[in-house]
Amino acid sequence: MPRSIVTGGAGFIGSHLCEHLLANGHEVICIDNLLTGTTDNLAQIKSDRFTFLKYNVTNYLFINGELDYVFHLASPASPVDYLELPIQTMKVGALGTLNALGLAKAKNATFLLASTSEVYGDPEHHPQEETYWGNVNPIGPRGVYDEAKRFAEALTMAYSRYHGVKTRIARIFNTFGPRMRLKDGRVVPNFMCQALAKKPLTVYGDGSQTRSFCYVSDLVEGLYKLMMSSELDPTNIGNPSEMSILEFAKRINQLTGNSAGIVFEELPIDDPKYRRPNIGKAKRVLNWEPKIALAEGLERTLEWFKIEIARTAQSE
């Protein structure tokens, strides 16, 4: 039976990945310090092949026994989170990645880094392909995340080249679905919560900036396929269907029957103007592409937000 570790396994994407691995017959060790993750995301897992360890991977990391795969997802991932947790974000991207790579090396396990479209910064090339080096402001407020992930990619390649560790790098684009934190500040939870409360949606700037949203089950399948491939160089995983944030807000208001409209607020510093993955490589090398259309993904996500909002209101 393959044995896998998922750092950040109690987070939004991490918890879906743990379930996917269990469904594919893996033994799964989930490690998370619960800074932005929660064990609520793991509550439905009943398997005896699953273990949860509350631990900060910024510290020395060791696991007894054999290990086949290390999925390194641990990091604050919402812009609001990494603005509030800048040092932790840099530590987990740098020291956490070092420790996770060291563990993979010690166990001769294959390592996958959850990197990000943020390595492209405010891109001057559109859509973004893996060969583009990016346009990142290292000292801006987003720099803590962007540069930590860029460092993590460089470190991963160094372990691949110098130590011969089998490594994979996924550049994850905007992802949405059940288990996003209600208050993580990202556009999907903000808009869903505002719309369900019949409040106006807060569009930052004039809303002309674009994003491309991938449903979480598609994303997780992409991560899994990448891990099982032999692709060393970074691979974009995301959904190329792009839209402006203003268009997205209108869509959410329509979906929820929210007539409260839209309010415009200040655009955050260094907010990327465009974002859309070129997924030609993932299609070619992994035979992967997203299957869930935005409309279906939004409906599933909305249902979950309704339940989660009611559950949270009850427990408060």
Q: What one-character-per-residue DSSP string does 88-134 give?
A: HHHHIIIIIHHHHHHHHHHHT-EEEEEEEGGGGBS-SSSSB-TT---
Which letter does DSSP use for residue 95 in this model? I
Give the range of 91-99, 150-158, 203-211, 218-226 binding ligand UDP by CB under 6 A: 203-211
55 catalytically annotated: no
Considering the rule CB under 6 A, would residue 203 count as an interface residue with ligand UDP? yes
Length of the chain: 316
Binding mask 72-91 for ligand UDP (x = CB under 6 A): -------x------------
Q: Where are the alpha helices (DSSP H) in 174-293?
A: 187-196, 216-228, 245-256, 280-281
Q: Which residues have a Cβ under 8 Å from the Cβ of 102 and sit 6 or more positions away?
A: 61
Cα(165)–Cα(156) distance, integer angstroms: 9
Please list, residue by residue across 243-261, b when 16 or more beta carbons sit within 10 angstroms of its beta carbon and e when fewer do: bbbbebbbebbebbebeee
**At closest approach, how far in Å is the CB of 7 from ligand UDP?**
20
Among 58, 209, 239, 278, binds ligand UDP (CB under 6 A): 209
Cα(145)–Cα(82) distance, integer angstroms: 7
Considering the rule CB under 6 A, would residue 297 count as an interface residue with ligand UDP? no
Binding mask 252-281 for ligand UDP (x = CB under 6 A): ----------------x--x----------
Cα(209)–Cα(187) distance, integer angstroms: 12
Catalytic residue among 69, 82, 145, 274: 145
Considering the rule CB under 6 A, would residue 5 count as an interface residue with ligand UDP? no
Binding mask 96-135 for ligand UDP (x = CB under 6 A): ----------------------------------------
Among 149, 150, 168, 211, binds ligand UDP (CB under 6 A): 211
Would you please indicate which residues are annotated as catalytic (active-site) residues? Answer: 145
Interface residues toward ligand UDP, by CB under 6 A = 79, 174, 186-187, 190, 202-204, 209, 211, 245, 268, 271
